[in-house]
Amino acid sequence: MDEFMQEAINQARKSLNEGGIPIGSALVKNGSLVASGHNKRVQEDNPILHGEMDCLNNAGRVGSFRDTVIYSTLMPCYMCAGTIVQFKIPKVIVGESRTFAGARAFMEEHGVEVVDLNLPECVQMMEQFIADKPTLWNEDIGEL
Protein backbone atom coordinates (compact mmCIF):
# COMPACT_ATOMS: atom_id res chain seq x y z
CA MET A 1 0.00 0.00 0.00
CA ASP A 2 1.27 3.43 -0.94
CA GLU A 3 2.15 5.34 2.26
CA PHE A 4 0.12 8.38 1.18
CA MET A 5 -3.02 6.38 0.46
CA GLN A 6 -2.49 4.67 3.79
CA GLU A 7 -2.43 8.11 5.43
CA ALA A 8 -5.71 8.98 3.70
CA ILE A 9 -7.24 5.71 4.95
CA ASN A 10 -5.97 6.45 8.46
CA GLN A 11 -7.66 9.84 8.26
CA ALA A 12 -10.93 8.24 7.08
CA ARG A 13 -10.84 5.86 10.04
CA LYS A 14 -10.15 8.79 12.35
CA SER A 15 -13.26 10.55 11.07
CA LEU A 16 -15.32 7.39 11.54
CA ASN A 17 -14.04 7.03 15.11
CA GLU A 18 -15.07 10.65 15.78
CA GLY A 19 -18.62 9.90 14.60
CA GLY A 20 -18.04 11.45 11.18
CA ILE A 21 -18.06 10.34 7.58
CA PRO A 22 -15.11 8.05 6.75
CA ILE A 23 -13.37 9.98 4.00
CA GLY A 24 -9.72 10.93 4.27
CA SER A 25 -7.24 12.80 2.13
CA ALA A 26 -3.51 13.50 1.86
CA LEU A 27 -1.59 16.12 -0.13
CA VAL A 28 1.87 15.29 -1.44
CA LYS A 29 4.40 17.68 -2.93
CA ASN A 30 7.73 16.55 -4.37
CA GLY A 31 7.28 13.11 -2.83
CA SER A 32 6.66 14.37 0.71
CA LEU A 33 3.48 14.57 2.74
CA VAL A 34 2.40 18.20 3.08
CA ALA A 35 -0.87 17.70 4.94
CA SER A 36 -3.71 15.31 5.56
CA GLY A 37 -7.29 15.70 6.65
CA HIS A 38 -10.65 14.06 6.93
CA ASN A 39 -14.31 14.80 6.52
CA LYS A 40 -15.43 16.93 9.49
CA ARG A 41 -18.93 17.92 8.40
CA VAL A 42 -20.47 16.23 11.43
CA GLN A 43 -17.74 16.98 13.96
CA GLU A 44 -17.54 20.71 13.19
CA ASP A 45 -21.09 21.23 11.87
CA ASN A 46 -19.55 22.54 8.65
CA PRO A 47 -21.20 21.57 5.35
CA ILE A 48 -18.13 22.20 3.19
CA LEU A 49 -15.47 20.50 5.33
CA HIS A 50 -15.06 17.42 3.15
CA GLY A 51 -11.88 15.35 3.44
CA GLU A 52 -10.10 17.08 0.56
CA MET A 53 -11.14 20.53 1.79
CA ASP A 54 -9.85 19.78 5.31
CA CYS A 55 -6.58 18.49 3.86
CA LEU A 56 -6.08 21.59 1.71
CA ASN A 57 -6.98 23.82 4.63
CA ASN A 58 -4.40 22.02 6.78
CA ALA A 59 -1.80 22.48 4.04
CA GLY A 60 -2.15 26.24 4.18
CA ARG A 61 -0.34 28.34 1.63
CA VAL A 62 2.02 26.14 -0.35
CA GLY A 63 2.57 28.49 -3.25
CA SER A 64 1.84 26.56 -6.41
CA PHE A 65 -0.12 23.32 -6.28
CA ARG A 66 1.03 22.40 -9.81
CA ASP A 67 3.56 19.87 -8.51
CA THR A 68 1.25 18.20 -5.99
CA VAL A 69 -0.81 15.04 -5.88
CA ILE A 70 -3.93 14.74 -3.77
CA TYR A 71 -5.07 11.38 -2.44
CA SER A 72 -8.63 10.68 -1.37
CA THR A 73 -10.27 7.51 -0.13
CA LEU A 74 -13.34 8.35 -2.24
CA MET A 75 -13.79 9.97 -5.65
CA PRO A 76 -14.06 13.73 -5.05
CA CYS A 77 -17.46 15.40 -5.32
CA TYR A 78 -17.98 18.42 -7.58
CA MET A 79 -17.14 20.89 -4.80
CA CYS A 80 -13.81 19.24 -4.07
CA ALA A 81 -13.15 18.60 -7.76
CA GLY A 82 -13.75 22.29 -8.45
CA THR A 83 -11.15 23.19 -5.84
CA ILE A 84 -8.70 20.67 -7.34
CA VAL A 85 -9.23 22.22 -10.79
CA GLN A 86 -9.03 25.79 -9.43
CA PHE A 87 -5.73 25.06 -7.63
CA LYS A 88 -4.40 23.26 -10.73
CA ILE A 89 -3.60 20.08 -8.83
CA PRO A 90 -2.56 17.82 -11.72
CA LYS A 91 -3.20 14.38 -10.24
CA VAL A 92 -5.75 12.75 -7.94
CA ILE A 93 -5.30 9.22 -6.62
CA VAL A 94 -8.54 7.75 -5.36
CA GLY A 95 -9.20 4.75 -3.14
CA GLU A 96 -12.51 3.93 -4.80
CA SER A 97 -15.48 5.21 -6.78
CA ARG A 98 -17.90 2.28 -6.59
CA THR A 99 -19.93 3.73 -3.72
CA PHE A 100 -19.84 7.29 -5.11
CA ALA A 101 -19.01 8.13 -8.72
CA GLY A 102 -18.10 11.73 -7.90
CA ALA A 103 -16.76 14.17 -10.48
CA ARG A 104 -14.15 12.15 -12.34
CA ALA A 105 -15.21 13.28 -15.82
CA PHE A 106 -15.24 16.92 -14.71
CA MET A 107 -11.67 16.70 -13.39
CA GLU A 108 -10.44 14.85 -16.49
CA GLU A 109 -12.11 17.41 -18.77
CA HIS A 110 -9.99 20.02 -16.99
CA GLY A 111 -6.72 18.14 -17.45
CA VAL A 112 -6.51 16.39 -14.09
CA GLU A 113 -5.15 12.84 -14.18
CA VAL A 114 -7.40 10.61 -12.09
CA VAL A 115 -6.20 7.22 -10.86
CA ASP A 116 -8.85 5.00 -9.25
CA LEU A 117 -7.23 2.21 -7.22
CA ASN A 118 -10.54 0.46 -6.46
CA LEU A 119 -9.24 -0.63 -3.06
CA PRO A 120 -11.44 -3.21 -1.30
CA GLU A 121 -10.62 -1.63 2.07
CA CYS A 122 -12.02 1.73 0.95
CA VAL A 123 -15.09 0.16 -0.68
CA GLN A 124 -15.88 -1.90 2.43
CA MET A 125 -15.47 1.09 4.76
CA MET A 126 -17.91 3.19 2.72
CA GLU A 127 -20.40 0.36 2.12
CA GLN A 128 -20.54 -0.31 5.86
CA PHE A 129 -20.95 3.37 6.68
CA ILE A 130 -23.72 3.82 4.08
CA ALA A 131 -25.53 0.74 5.43
CA ASP A 132 -25.19 1.93 9.03
CA LYS A 133 -25.98 5.63 8.48
CA PRO A 134 -27.89 6.11 5.22
CA THR A 135 -29.49 9.39 6.30
CA LEU A 136 -26.14 10.95 7.20
CA TRP A 137 -24.63 9.72 3.93
CA ASN A 138 -27.52 11.11 1.88
CA GLU A 139 -27.12 14.43 3.68
CA ASP A 140 -23.43 14.48 2.79
CA ILE A 141 -24.04 13.90 -0.91
CA GLY A 142 -27.00 16.28 -1.11
CA GLU A 143 -29.66 13.60 -1.60
CA LEU A 144 -31.93 14.49 1.37
Domain ranges in the chain? 3-141
User: What are the backbone dihedrals phi and psi of residue 40, each rounded to the nearest 5 degrees, phi first?
Assistant: -125, 25
Q: Is 52 a catalytic residue?
A: yes
pLDDT band at residue 8 using 50, 70 and 90 as cut-offs: very high
Rama region for 90: left / alpha / beta (φ>0; ψ in -120 to 50; rest): alpha
Q: What is the pLDDT of residues 76-133, one digit of tens each?
A: 999 999 999 999 999 999 999 999 999 999 999 999 999 999 999 999 999 999 999 9
3-class secondary structure, 12: helix
Say what the pLDDT of residue 143 is: 84
Candidate CATH numbers 3.90.950.10, 3.30.499.10, 2.60.40.10, 3.40.140.10; the one for domain 3-141? 3.40.140.10
Say what the pLDDT of residue 141 is: 84
Residue 143 CA to its chain's centroid (Å): 19
Residue 21 CA to its chain's centroid (Å): 11
Q: Is the pLDDT of residue 53 over 90?
A: yes
Residues 3, 7, 52, 143: which is the catalytic one?
52
